[in-house]
Every structure is written in structure tokens, then in C-alpha cells.
């Protein structure tokens, strides 16, 4: 990873935002810009970048941090950063407005005094992160491969009478065994009526003899997240269940087809919604079509109805329409998709035909 290059691309944006430096406090952004993976750090991304952490991370920072001088201050990182702003004649300091608690903002303002203006900014580093470098795409592919390879074992763990949590435990154990650093979010295993919950975390509910099971999970591998959903059926699916599945799959394929550089995220979302509207299911599709994935499980761009973000080659997004019939059952199908120079490449290698576990 070329951290210096990332930081110089960031600094090219300062003129537009009318700042002299950005105080980076969101840890995934600090990681993106310096390589540091620890849990406490602040980066003053200025012409002379300074990286602040505490004594616990002295050795780790010395090994990991690139493109910034490491400082272990005696007091707080914020007062050290404020002093550095004065030293470097920073007159306008950008902060990550969505990532800064009010108490931190107040402390920073106190430390900076009148000489430095704080400029609240949103999504500046996230904007850079949205377009992945080839080395990042390689890591994302590896995370996807790791989680996809676990899918057959997850299916084996789905036994009627077992709890959703025990199936999740099996999956998560195998993920760690295969080298995952963590799950990228709390595993969703939602069976029977619970499959109608778009965000049904694995619960103590017992898997039924008959019914859908929504399986939505991902791993973190070398810092990068994966995210996939498959909905399988315990026992034989009824004709109605099959037609719901077929409609969601058609929506998923239509949205994937709409992914290309230059398309807006809203257009991709509309492609999925159009299919479901035609069969009267649009009102049961209650969330966005997808989201960016990378160092974080949810990151820009958001693929939703109101999103005018424009897709660019190198972006990695999910395509995950669903339809949820309250009190009955639901289906979601999710792949990760790379925006390529010509269109898109589906990165998730797991088949999407309906699986019935008999
Ligand atoms: Zn997911
Ligand atoms: Zn997702």
C-alpha cells in the first residue's frame, strides 16, 4: 500500500474544502492513510503529517505507520495536535464532523484557541476509499473467497431443531479456523417467520422443519470485509415461496446488470425495485439495494433510491435486494460486485439457484 500517495491525493482536495490540514480521527481512515491497525490514534494530515498515539502502541506504530511522523505525547493527542497546528501555521483545520463526539470538538476548540478555524467536513477520506486500488481488490477477493468457502459447511450446520445461534457458532468457529480476523458484522441467521426480519441476528430460535433461512455473513481478512447473503429453504419450498425467491433473484440480477461506471447508485437501486414492483412486491423491499464495502462493512457509496453518487471503476458494492412478507417469510440475495471499466464483475462465487435442504 502506498500511504504517501494516498495522503498526497487527500491533500489535493484541501483547496476545494478550503482547509490547510485535516484532523483524521476515524480509525479506518487513519489506517487507510498510514497503515496503523491499533485502536487509538489521531492523524494530523498536513504538509508535515503527524501521527499521535499513546504509549501502548509505541512499538506497533513504529513498525506500521508510514507517511507520518509518530508522536507519543504526554498529554492528550488533541492538545498535541492543536500545538502542532500552531507550529505548522495551520489556519483552517478540517475535522471529520461525522466522527467526532461533541466533547472532543469542544476540547479541540479550547486547545486551538482563536487562531485556528475548525472546518467540519464529511466523507473526505471515505470518498478516496470508495475507489479501491488493485491491491485492495486483491485483499477483498481473498476475504470473499474465505467466506464463500465456508458456505457448504454452514449449510451442513442447518439442522431442524438446532438453534440459529448454534449454526452461527459453527460458521464463526470455522471462519476463525480458516484465518478470519473477525466476522465483519454480527451473523444473521433468520429462519422461518424470522426470515421476514431484514436484520434478524442469529437468535435462540430453533430451525424449523420447513421454511426459509436467510444467511447473511462476512469475514474480515487482512483488514478487508466481505458480505454475502443467501436464502436457502429447509424442506421443499411451496410454489409461493419459489415465486418470491425467483422475483428477488430477478431483482438482484437486474440491479447487477445496471452496475457500470457512470451509472448513479439511484439507477441501480431503481433496477431492483422495478422488478419487484412489476410483481407487486416493491412495498416489501424495505431497505437500500446495497452499500460499499472495504475496510468497513458499510462505507460509501450507498446504493439507495435517493443516492445520486456516480459509480466509478474500482468501486466495490453489494447488491442485496430482498422482500419480506411480515409474519410469514422473507428472502434476500446479496453479492459483492466490482465496478469495472466496462461494467461489473460479480465477486461472490456462490451459486444463487434456490437450495432446498431435504
Ligand atoms: Zn450482508
Ligand atoms: Zn450488505
Ligand nearest to C-alpha 316: 2
Ligand nearest to C-alpha 190: 1
Judged by DSSP in three states, 49 sits in: coil
Return the pLDDT at 33: 98
Ligand nearest to C-alpha 302: 2
Q: Which residues, chain by chain, have CB under 5 Å from ion ligand 2?
A: 227, 318
Q: How far apart are CA 23 and CA 46, in angstroms?
A: 8
How many A from CA of 216 to the centre of ligand 1?
A: 5
Instruction: Sort 211 into a burial class: Cβ within 10 Å, 0-12 / 13-18 / 19+.
Output: buried
CATH (one of 3.30.43.10, 3.60.9.10, 3.90.230.10, 3.30.1360.120) for 134-357: 3.90.230.10
Instruction: Enumerate the CATH 3.40.350.10 domain ranges in the chain, comma separated.
Output: 3-129
pTM > 0.85: yes or no: yes
DSSP-assigned states of every residue in 52-68: E--GGGHHHHHHH--SS
Instruction: Enumerate the CATH 3.90.230.10 domain ranges in the chain, comma separated.
Output: 134-357
Q: How far apart are CA 347 and CA 144, in angstroms?
A: 7
Q: How far apart are the first and last CA of the chain?
A: 47
Q: Which residues of the chain have pLDDT under 70?
A: none
**At residue 335, what are phi and psi to the nearest 5 degrees?**
-120, 160
How many A from CA of 97 to the centre of ligand 2?
A: 25
Q: What is the 3-state secondary structure of 129-166?
A: HHECCHHHHHHHHHHHHHHHHCHHHHHHCCCCCCEHHH
- Sheet with 356-357: strands ordered across: 188-191, 211-217, 228-234, 356-357
Ligand nearest to C-alpha 303: 2
How many A from CA of 109 to the centre of ligand 2?
A: 37
Closest CA to 202 of 241, 171, 234, 233: 171
What does the block give as the cell for 4? 504517501
Ligand nearest to C-alpha 319: 2
Return the pLDDT at 75: 87
Return the pLDDT at 99: 94
CB 349 within 8 A of CB 148: yes
Return the pLDDT at 76: 87
Q: Which residues, chain by chain, have CB under 5 Å from ion ligand 1?
A: 216, 227, 229, 334
Instruction: Sort 161 into a burial class: Cβ within 10 Å, 0-12 / 13-18 / 19+.
Output: exposed
Interhelix angle 239-257/265-278, nearest 10 degrees: 150
How many A from CA of 257 to the centre of ligand 1?
A: 19
What letter does residue 193 receive in the DSSP assignment?
A: G
Return the pLDDT at 283: 97
Structural fold of domain 3-129? Creatine Amidinohydrolase; Chain A, domain 1 (3.40.350)
What letter does residue 263 receive in the DSSP assignment?
A: -
Q: How far apart are CA 27 and CA 30, in angstroms?
A: 5
How many A from CA of 95 to the centre of ligand 2?
A: 28
Give the number of other CB atoms < 10 A from CB of residue 296: 22
Amino acid at each position: 500500500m502506498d500511504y504517501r500517495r494516498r495522503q498526497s491525493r487527500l491533500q489535493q482536495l484541501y483547496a476545494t474544502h478550503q482547509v490547510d490540514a485535516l484532523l483524521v480521527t476515524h480509525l479506518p481512515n487513519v489506517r487507510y492513510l498510514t497503515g496503523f491497525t491499533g485502536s487509538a490514534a489521531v492523524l494530523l494530515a498536513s504538509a508535515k503529517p503527524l501521527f499521535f498515539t499513546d504509549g501502548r502502541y509505541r512499538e506497533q506504530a513504529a513498525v506500521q505507520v508510514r507517511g507520518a511522523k509518530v508522536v507519543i505525547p504526554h498529554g492528550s493527542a488533541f492538545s498535541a495536535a492543536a500545538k502542532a497546528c500552531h507550529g505548522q501555521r495551520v489556519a483552517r483545520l478540517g475535522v471529520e464532523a461525522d466522527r467526532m463526539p461533541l466533547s472532543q470538538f469542544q476540547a479541540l476548540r479550547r486547545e486551538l484557541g482563536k487562531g485556528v478555524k475548525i472546518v467540519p467536513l464529511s466523507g473526505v477520506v471515505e470518498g478516496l476509499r470508495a475507489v479501491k486500488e488493485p491491491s485492495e481488490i486483491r485483499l477483498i477477493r481473498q476475504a470473499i473467497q474465505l467466506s464463500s468457502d465456508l458456505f457448504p459447511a454452514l449449510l451442513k450446520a442447518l439442522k431442524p431443531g438446532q438453534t440459529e445461534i448454534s449454526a452461527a457458532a459453527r460458521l464463526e468457529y470455522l471462519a476463525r479456523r480458516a484465518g478470519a480476523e473477525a466476522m465483519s458484522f454480527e451473523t444473521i441467521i433468520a429462519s422461518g417467520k424470522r426470515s421476514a426480519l431484514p436484520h434478524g441476528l442469529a437468535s435462540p430460535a430453533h430451525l424449523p422443519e420447513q421454511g426459509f433461512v436467510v444467511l447473511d455473513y462476512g469475514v474480515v481478512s487482512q483488514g478487508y470485509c466481505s458480505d454475502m447473503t443467501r436464502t436457502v429453504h429447509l424442506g421443499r419450498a411451496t410454489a409461493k415461496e419459489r415465486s418470491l425467491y425467483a422475483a428477488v433473484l430477478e431483482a438482484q440480477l437486474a440491479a447487477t446488470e445496471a452496475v457500470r461506471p457512470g451509472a448513479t447508485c439511484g439507477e441501480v437501486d431503481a433496477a431492483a425495485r422495478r422488478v419487484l414492483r412489476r410483481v407487486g412486491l416493491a412495498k416489501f423491499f424495505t431497505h437500500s439495494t446495497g452499500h460499499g464495502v472495504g475496510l468497513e462493512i458499510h462505507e460509501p457509496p450507498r446504493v439507495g433510491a435517493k443516492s445520486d453518487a456516480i459509480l466509478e471503476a474500482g468501486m466495490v458494492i453489494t447488491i442485496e435486494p430482498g422482500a419480506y412478507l411480515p409474519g410469514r417469510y422473507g428472502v434476500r440475495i446479496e453479492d459483492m460486485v466490482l465496478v469495472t471499466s466496462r461494467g461489473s464483475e460479480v465477486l461472490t462465487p456462490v451459486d444463487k439457484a434456490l437450495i432446498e435442504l431435504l
